[in-house]
Structure 1
Amino acid sequence: MEKKLYKSKKNKMIAGVCGGIGEYFNIDPTLIRLAWAILSILTAFFGGIILYIVAAIIIPNEYQIKGED
């Protein structure tokens, strides 16, 4: 079975990007969120926000990948 990256609908806080990344790599989404926050602060915060918005636009929703409603 091929793994696909998608925005999670069950591990969602804002758009589901970190939840989807966590599910893809089989890592707790909280660790992904924490790492994202730390990296955002270290890169003057603005870069992390822009990257998150771009990821939220580009990464498809879970229902689009799995064919659910």
Structure 2
Amino acid sequence: MKKKLYRSSSNRMLGGVLGGLADYTGIDASLLRILAVVGFFLGVGSLGFIYLAWIFIVPNEGDMHRK
């Protein structure tokens, strides 16, 4: 079965982006959150903008199951 990227409904802090990414990649969500916060404070790219864009672009987990 092909994996699909989605925003997690159960493993979320803000928008569920990192929880869904953790499910997709198999990496622990806490580790991704720590890396995202560190990257945000170190000014790595435009992580804040990317996170906000993913909230609007990547579908929510509940929306994926209704199709």
TM-score (norm 1): 0.86
Deviation at 1:47, TM superposition (A): 2.3
Report how far residue 21 of structure 1 moved: 0.2
Structure 2 unpaired stretches of 5+: none
Aligned residue number for residue 57 of structure 1: 56
Long gaps (5+) in structure 1: none
Work out which structure has the larger RCO, using CA pairs closer than 8 Å and 6 or more positions apart in sequence: 2
Letter in 1 for 2:35: A
Q: Whole-Å Cα distance in 1 between the matches of residues 40 and 7 of structure 2?
A: 20
**Count of aligned residue pairs for this structure pair:** 67
Spell out, residue by residue over 1:6-65, the C-alpha distance to the aligned partner (whole angstroms, 9 max, x if none). Answer: 000000100100000000011111111111111111117x82221110111111000111
